[in-house]
C-alpha cells in the first residue's frame, strides 16, 4: 500500500500543464554562495576599507582554504595585488602565509609561480617580519621541489642576498633555508667546483657564528648540523671555532655547539690538536670528550643532560680519559712527563747547579714557574660523578644511561663504574633506580658482585615498587657473584623477600632459575643446607607447595644440570618433587637424568619431531577432502579429526596452534552444515550462527603465521556464515509483521509486533551491508594472494555485481539455494608455523574462595595479573566482566598497564608477549547471596557486521576466572 501511494504521489507531482503561449526561456547565472569557496572571500578584498577588515577576511580564507583548480591562479593574482597596495605589515605577512598554505594544500596550485611571486614581493620589502615570512614561505614551498637543483640554487641565492638584513629573524630564516635547500650531490658526482662552492657555503654559515645576536649564532651552528645530517662533509678546521662557542653566555648556543663538537670528534677521531702550551698534542676525539665533560658542570640543566647523553655515545676515547670521569682528582699520570735527559738539559740552560747528589736539589721553588708544570685539560675529572650527583632527575638519568653505554664496550670502565651504579639504587626517584638496575643488568657480563655491593643491592629488594623488585630479580639472575657467601646472602634475602611480597613468586622463581644455572659450583656446597640433607638423620619432607621450598628446589635443580656431582645428594622425596615440578613448570626445571619414568617420557618427547607430526596431520586429513565420499561420511570424519587434533594440541605444545586452527576450522564446517539443515524451512538458528560468527573471528584474528592460502579459506568460510546470517535476518523480518486480527485486545500486541518488525528489518539491512563489505575485502584478498575462489564465492560475486542496490530479501532468496547446495568447504592443509594467541590469568586464582564485600552502587577493584602470548596488537586487549544477571562490560586497560614479558617479549613471527597488570572495577546493586563474577581476557576485533556505534566483538583468549562478590546494602544513620 505504501509503495502504491508513493507511485501515485510521484505521478501527480510529475504532471506538466501548458496554458497559453510558450514563455521566453531565461538564462539564470547562479552566483557563488558566500562561504562555499575561498575564492569568494578573495574577491571581497578589493572592498575592504581598512587593514583590520582585510586581516579578518584573510583569516576566513585561511580557515576555509577551498579553491577550485580554475580559481587558484586568479586568487593568487588578487592576493598579490592587495599585497602591493597594503600598508600594514601584518596583512602582508598573512598574505605570504596564505601563499604557503595554498601551495601545500590546494591541488591546482603552481608552486613555481608561487615561488616567483614571493621572490618578487619581498624584493623591495622593508619590513623585517614580512621578509622573514617570505623566506619561510620559500623554504616550505622549495622543500616540495627539492629535486630541481637549479631552483634550489636560486633560492639559496635569494637567502644569501637577505642575509645582510639587520633583523635576527630574517638572518635565522635565511640560514635555515640555506642549510635545508642547498643542493648536496653524492661524493662520486662532485666536481672541484662543487667542492669549492660547498666549502664556501660552510664557511659562510660558520662566519655567522660570530654574530652579535645569540639566536643567529645558534641558528648558524644548527645550520651546520643540518648540512652534516644531509650528507655535507664538515671540515675539521671548524673545531676551534666551535670550541670557542662552548663558553658562550647563552645556553642555546652552548647546547648546539656541544652537538657540533660531538659530531666533529666522532668524524675525525684520530686527528691531532695542539694544546695551549704549544707542545702537548691530543687526539681530537679525546679533546672533544674532555670538552663535553666540562659541560656536565654547566649552569643550564638542558646542557648538562645533553652533555651526559653525548658522553655515552662517544666512541674511541682513550681509557685514561674514561676512567678520569669517575674520579674527581686529577690522576698523576696525566702530567706531562719528560725524560731525565730533557730535565737535565733544562737545568743546564737555567744555570742552576746543586751539590751533585740530585739534579736541582737545592733549587729554590720560585725558580719553577707554574706554567712549566703542564697538565692535560682537567674537564674530564669526575664528570660522571657530578652527573650522578646532580640535583635534577633528568641529568642523573642521562648520566646513568651514558655510563651503561660506555660500560657495555669497555670492561675496565664497567668494573670501575660498578660502585657508582650500585649507589644509584638508593636514589629518591623511582625512574632513576630503575635505570640503574637495567643498566647493571645490561653490563652484567662484565662485572662480578662483591659482598659490600650486594648489601646495597639486596637492601633495595625491600622497595615498595614492584617494578624495582622485579628489575632487581632480573639483575641478580644475570649477574655473577664472587663467592659462596655472596650467593648465600642472595638466597636468604630472596626467600625473606618472598614472604613479604608473595605476589613476586613468578619473578622470584625465574631469578632462582638463572642464579642456579650460572653458579652451579657455588650451589654445590650449599645444597645440603638448602635441601635439609643430613648424613645421619632423616629430615622431614618439605611441602612442595611452599613457595620458599619451590624456589630452593628450582635453584638446586638448575645447578644440578651443570654439576652432576649434586645428583647423588638428592633424596627420594626430592626426586619425586622434581618429577612434579617438571610436569607443572617445565620452563623453569631442566631435564635431569633421574627418575626412570621421566627419562622414558623425555626420550619419547625427543623422538617426536616435525616430520612425525606432519605425517600425523596428513593421516588425519587425508580422506576429509575426498569429494567421492558422501557428506555424512565426511562430517563423521571431520568430527573424528577434530577430536584427534584437540588431543594432539594438549600433548604437543609446539604444534598446538596448528592443531587448534585445523580443529576449529573443522568444527565451523560441521556447525555450518548443521545450521543450514536444522529447520524444516531452512532458517538457520540465530544462536548457532552467532557461535559460528565468533569462531570465524577467532580463525581470522587469534592465530598468527597463517599463510595467504589458509587465510583465503577462512574468509571464504566466513562469507558463507555471512550469507546464512543474512537469510536468518530476512526470515525474522518477514515473520515480524504485526497481526491483522481486529479487536482492541490485540492493539498492544500490534504495536509490539511493529517494533520487532522494525528491528528485524534493520538487522536484515545490517546483515546485507556486512555481506557486501566482506565480499569486497575477500575479493581484494584473493586478488593479492592469487587464489582461485570456490564456486559459492564466485556465485556471491556475480549476484552482487548484477545490481548495485541489492534488497536483503532478494539477495537472501538468491543465495540460500546456492549455500545449501554448495559442497563442504575445503579444509586447508596444516602449517606447523601457525601459533595461537592465548592468555593465562595468574591473579586472581581460580580456586580463591574469598568473598569481596562492598556497598551496593559503589565500585570495588580486583587486582588482575595475566600473561598474554603472541598478540599482534596489545592495544586491542580487553578485560570482560560478566555478572550473574547476564550483564557484562569490557574494560580497556591503560597503556602503561601492559608491560613486556620479562623472559620473552617478542617472537619470530612479529607478535608480542605482554604482561597485563591492572585493576578490574566491579559494581552492582544489592544481592541477597554472594554470587560469582567472571573475568576474562579478550581481544577486540574489527567486524563488518556491527555498526559503528556498536562495540567491537570480543574473542576470548583465556578461561574465565570467577570472583565471588557480595554487594551489601548501604547502612543509613548512625
Q: Is 565 within a domain?
A: yes
The stretch 143-172 carries a mean pLDDT of 91
Residues 553 and 669 in one domain: no
> Which pairs with CB-CB distance under 8 Å and at least 24 residues apart come from 622-631?
624/666, 624/827, 625/826, 625/827, 627/823, 631/673, 631/823, 631/824
Predicted pLDDT at 627: 65
Q: What pLDDT band is residue 850 in, cutting at 50, 70 and 90?
A: confident
Q: Is 741 within a domain?
A: no
Residues 856 and 806 in one domain: no
Residues 814 and 702 in one domain: yes
Last residue of a domain, one of 183, 199, 233: 183
**SS3 at position 611:** helix
pLDDT at 701 over 80: yes
- Phi and psi, residue 546, nearest 5°: -70, 120
Q: What angle do CA 761, 762, 765 make, to 5 degrees?
A: 90
Predicted pLDDT at 102: 85
Residues 853 and 915 in one domain: yes
**Cβ-Cβ contacts under 8 Å for 554 (sequence gap 6 or more):** 509, 512, 513, 516, 581, 585, 588, 589
Predicted pLDDT at 72: 79
Predicted pLDDT at 15: 37
**SS3 at position 681:** coil
H/E/C letters for each residue in 452-506? HHHHHHHHHHHCCCHHHHHHHHHHHHHCCECCHHHHHHHHHHHHHHHHHCHHHHH
**In total, how many domains does the chain have?**
4
Predicted pLDDT at 822: 86
- Which stretches within 389-429 are classed as H helix? 393-407, 411-423
Mean pLDDT for all residues in the chain? 82
Predicted pLDDT at 750: 46
What are the pLDDT digits (tens) for 572-610?
A: 888 888 988 888 888 889 988 886 544 444 444 444 456
**SS3 at position 221:** helix
Q: What pLDDT band is residue 35 in, cutting at 50, 70 and 90?
A: very low
Residues 795 and 873 in one domain: no
Last residue of a domain, one of 149, 183, 217: 183
pLDDT at 352 over 70: no
Q: Is 389 within a domain?
A: no
Cβ neighbour number for residue 740 with a 10 Å cutoff: 7
Predicted pLDDT at 421: 93
Residue 953 maps to which CATH number?
Answer: 2.60.40
The stretch 488-499 carries a mean pLDDT of 93
The stretch 665-672 carries a mean pLDDT of 91
Pick the closest to residue 107 from 146, 83, 73, 148 (CA basis).
Answer: 73
H or E segment and range at residue 704: strand 703-704
Predicted pLDDT at 477: 92
pLDDT at 739 over 60: no
Q: Which of 130-144, 531-545, 644-658 has the highest mean pLDDT?
A: 130-144
pLDDT at 215 over 90: yes
Last residue of a domain, one of 773, 796, 821: 821
Predicted pLDDT at 26: 38
What are the pLDDT digits (tens) for 54-65?
A: 888 788 877 877
Cα separation, 425 vs 580, in Å, equals: 38
pLDDT at 789 over 80: yes
Predicted pLDDT at 109: 79
Q: Is 229 within a domain?
A: no
What are the pLDDT digits (tens) for 922-968?
A: 999 889 889 999 999 999 987 655 444 567 889 999 999 999 999 98
Residues 110 and 135 in one domain: yes
What are the pLDDT digits (tens) for 377-428?
A: 456 788 999 999 999 999 999 999 999 999 999 999 999 999 999 999 999 9
Q: Is 135 within a domain?
A: yes
Residues 697 and 810 in one domain: yes
Residues 640 and 573 in one domain: no
Residues 799 and 882 in one domain: no
Predicted pLDDT at 573: 87
Predicted pLDDT at 332: 42
Q: Is 951 within a domain?
A: yes
Predicted pLDDT at 31: 41
pTM over 0.85: no
The domain of 537 spans 467-474+484-497+505-592
Q: What pLDDT band is residue 916 in, cutting at 50, 70 and 90?
A: very high
The stretch 526-546 carries a mean pLDDT of 83
The stretch 488-501 carries a mean pLDDT of 93
The stretch 134-156 carries a mean pLDDT of 90
HSE toward the beta carbon, residue 704, CA cutoff 13 A? 16
| CB-CB contact of 854 with 878 (8 Å) | no
Cα separation, 550 vs 563, in Å, equals: 19
Residues 56 and 146 in one domain: yes
Residues 102 and 154 in one domain: yes
Predicted pLDDT at 604: 46
Predicted pLDDT at 744: 39
Q: Is 393 within a domain?
A: no
Q: Is 698 within a domain?
A: yes
H or E segment and range at residue 967: strand 961-968
Beta strands, E only, 534-654 = none
What are the pLDDT digits (tens) for 262-285?
A: 999 999 999 888 887 777 788 999
What are the pLDDT digits (tens) for 682-695?
A: 567 888 888 999 99
What are the pLDDT digits (tens) for 289-311?
A: 999 999 999 999 999 999 999 99
HSE toward the beta carbon, residue 817, CA cutoff 13 A? 4
Residues 172 and 42 in one domain: yes
Amino acid at each position: 500500500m505504501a509503495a502504491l501511494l508513493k507511485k501515485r504521489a510521484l505521478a501527480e507531482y510529475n504532471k506538466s500543464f501548458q496554458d497559453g503561449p510558450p514563455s521566453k526561456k531565461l538564462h539564470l547565472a547562479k552566483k557563488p554562495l558566500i562561504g562555499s569557496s575561498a575564492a569568494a572571500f578573495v574577491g571581497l578584498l578589493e572592498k575592504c576599507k581598512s587593514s583590520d577588515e582585510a586581516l579578518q577576511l584573510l583569516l576566513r580564507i585561511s580557515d576555509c582554504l577551498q579553491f577550485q583548480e580554475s580559481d587558484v591562479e586568479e586568487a593568487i593574482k588578487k592576493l598579490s595585488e592587495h599585497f602591493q597596495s597594503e600598508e600594514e605589515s601584518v596583512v602582508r605577512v598573512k598574505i605570504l602565509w596564505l601563499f604557503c598554505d595554498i601551495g601545500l594544500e590546494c591541488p591546482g596550485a603552481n608552486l613555481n609561480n608561487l615561488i616567483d611571486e614571493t621572490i618578487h614581493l619581498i624584493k623591495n620589502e622593508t619590513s623585517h617580519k614580512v621578509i622573514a615570512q617570505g623566506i619561510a614561505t620559500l623554504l616550505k614551498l622549495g622543500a616540495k621541489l627539492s629535486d630541481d637543483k637549479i631552483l634550489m640554487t636560486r633560492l639559496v641565492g635569494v637567502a644569501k642576498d637577505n642575509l645582510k638584513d639587520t633583523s635576527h629573524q630574517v638572518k635565522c630564516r635565511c640560514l635555515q633555508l640555506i642549510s635545508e635547500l642547498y643542493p648536496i650531490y653524492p661524493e662520486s658526482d662532485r666536481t672541484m667546483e662543487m667542492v669549492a662552492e660547498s666549502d664556501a657555503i660552510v664557511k659562510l654559515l660558520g662566519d655567522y657564528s660570530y654574530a652579535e645576536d645569540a639566536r643567529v649564532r645558534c641558528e648558524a651552528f644548527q645550520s651546520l648540523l643540518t648540512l652534516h645530517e644531509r650528507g655535507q662533509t664538515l671540515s675539521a678546521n671548524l673545531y676551534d671555532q666551535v670550541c670557542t662557542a662552548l663558553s658562550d653566555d647563552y645556553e642555546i648556543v652552548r647546547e648546539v655547539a656541544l652537538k657540533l663538537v660531538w659530531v666533529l670528534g666522532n668524524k675525525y677521531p684520530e686527528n691531532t690538536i695542539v694544546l695551549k702550551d704549544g707542545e702537548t698534542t691530543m687526539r681530537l676525539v679525546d679533546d672533544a670528550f674532555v670538552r663535553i665533560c666540562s659541560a656536565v658542570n654547566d649552569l643550564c640543566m638542558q646542557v648538562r643532560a645533553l652533555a651526559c647523553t653525548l658522553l655515552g655515545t662517544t666512541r674511541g676515547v682513550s681509557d685514561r680519559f674514561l676512567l678520569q670521569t669517575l674520579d674527581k682528582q686529577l690522576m698523576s699520570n696525566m702530567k706531562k712527563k719528560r725524560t731525565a735527559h730533557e730535565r737535565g738539559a733544562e737545568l743546564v740552560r737555567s744555570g742552576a747547579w746543586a751539590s751533585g747528589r740530585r739534579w736541582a736539589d737545592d733549587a729554590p721553588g720560585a725558580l719553577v714557574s707554574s706554567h712549566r708544570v703542564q697538565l692535560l685539560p682537567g674537564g674530564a675529572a669526575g664528570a660522571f660523578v657530578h652527573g650522578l650527583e646532580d640535583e635534577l632527575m633528568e641529568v642523573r638519568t642521562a648520566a646513568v644511561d651514558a655510563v651503561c653505554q660506555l660500560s657495555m664496550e669497555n670492561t675496565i670502565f664497567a668494573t670501575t663504574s660498578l660502585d657508582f651504579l650500585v649507589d644509584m639504587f638508593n636514589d629518591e626517584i623511582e625512574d632513576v633506580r630503575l635505570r640503574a638496575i637495567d643498566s647493571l643488568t645490561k653490563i652484567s657480563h662484565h662485572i662480578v658482585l662483591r659482598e659490600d655491593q650486594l648489601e646495597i643491592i639486596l637492601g633495595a629488594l625491600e622497595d615498595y615498587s614492584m617494578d624495582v623488585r622485579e628489575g632487581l630479580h632480573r639483575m641478580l639472575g644475570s649477574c655473577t657473584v664472587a663467592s659462596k657467601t655472596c650467593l648465600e646472602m642472595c638466597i636468604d634475602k630472596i626467600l625473606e623477600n618472598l614472604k613479604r611480597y608473595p605476589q613476586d613468586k613468578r619473578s622470584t622463581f625465574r631469578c632462582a632459575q638463572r642464579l642456579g644455572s650460572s653458579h652451579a659450583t657455588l650451589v654445590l656446597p650449599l645444597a645440603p643446607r638448602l635441601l635439609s640433607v643430613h648424613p645421619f638423620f632423616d629430615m622431614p619432607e618439605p611441602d612442595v607447595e611452599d613457595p620458599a621450598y619451590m624456589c630452593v628446589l628450582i635453584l638446586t635443580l638448575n645447578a644440578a644440570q651443570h654439576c652432576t656431582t649434586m645428583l647423588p645428594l638428592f633424596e627420594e622425596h626430592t626426586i619425586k618433587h622434581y618429577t612434579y615440578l617438571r610436569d607443572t613448570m617445565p620452563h623453569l626445571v631442566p631435564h635431569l637424568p633421574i627418575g626412570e619414568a621421566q627419562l622414558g617420557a623425555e626420550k619419547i618427547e625427543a623422538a617426536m619431531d616435525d616430520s612425525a607430526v606432519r605425517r600425523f596431520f596428513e593421516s588425519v586429513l587425508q580422506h576429509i577432502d575426498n569429494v567421492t565420499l558422501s557428506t555424512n561420511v565426511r562430517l563423521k570424519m571431520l568430527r573424528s579429526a577434530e577430536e584427534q587434533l584437540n588431543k594432539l594440541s594438549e600433548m604437543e605444545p609446539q604444534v598446538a596452534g596448528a592443531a587448534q586452527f585445523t580443529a576449529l576450522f573443522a568444527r565451523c564446517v560441521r556447525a555450518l552444515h548443521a545450521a543450514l539443515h536444522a529447520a524444516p524451512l531452512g532458517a538457520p538458528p540465530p544462536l548457532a550462527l552467532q557461535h559460528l560468527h565468533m569462531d570465524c573471528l577467532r580463525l581470522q584474528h587469534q592465530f598468527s603465521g597463517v599463510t595467504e592460502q589458509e587465510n583465503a579459506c577462512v574468509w571464504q568460510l566466513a562469507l558463507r556464515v555471512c550469507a546464512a546470517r543474512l537469510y536468518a535476518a530476512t526470515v525474522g523480518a518477514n515473520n515480524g509483521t504485526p497481526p491483522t486480527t481486529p479487536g482492541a485486545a490485540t492493539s498492544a500486541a500490534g504495536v509490539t509486533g511493529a517494533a520487532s518488525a522494525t528491528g528485524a528489518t534493520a538487522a536484515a539491512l545490517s546483515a546485507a551491508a556486512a555481506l557486501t563489505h566482506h565480499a569486497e575485502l575477500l575479493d581484494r584478498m584473493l586478488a593479492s594472494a592469487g587464489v582461485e575462489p570456490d564456486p559459492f564465492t564466485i556465485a556471491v560475486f556475480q549476484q552482487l555485481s548484477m545490481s548495485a542496490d541489492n534488497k536483503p530479501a532478494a539477495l537472501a532468496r538468491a543465495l540460500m539455494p546456492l549455500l545449501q547446495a554448495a559442497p563442504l568447504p575445503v579444509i586447508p592443509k596444516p602449517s606447523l608455523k601457525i601459533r595461537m594467541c592465548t592468555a593465562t590469568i595468574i591473579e586472581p586464582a581460580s580456586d580463591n574462595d574469598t568473598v569481596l564485600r562492598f556497598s551496593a552502587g559503589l565500585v570495588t577493584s580486583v587486582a588482575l595479573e595475566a600473561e598474554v602470548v603472541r598478540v599482534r596488537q596489545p592495544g586491542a586487549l580487553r578485560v570482560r566482566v560478566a555478572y550473574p544477571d547476564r550483564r557484562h562490560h569490557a574494560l580497556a586497560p591503560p597503556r602503561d598497564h601492559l608491560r613486556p614479558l620479562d623472559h620473552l617479549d617478542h617472537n619470530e613471527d612479529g607478535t608480542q608477549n605482554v604482561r597485563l597488570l591492572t585493576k578490574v572495577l566491579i559494581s552492582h546493586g544489592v544481592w541477597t547471596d554472594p554470587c560469582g563474577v567472571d573475568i576474562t581476557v579478550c581481544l577486540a576485533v574489527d567486524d563488518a557486521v556491527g555498526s559503528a556505534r556498536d562495540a567491537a566483538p570480543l574473542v576470548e583468549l583465556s578461561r574465565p576466572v570467577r570472583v565471588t562478590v557480595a554487594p551489601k546494602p548501604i547502612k543509613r544513620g548512625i
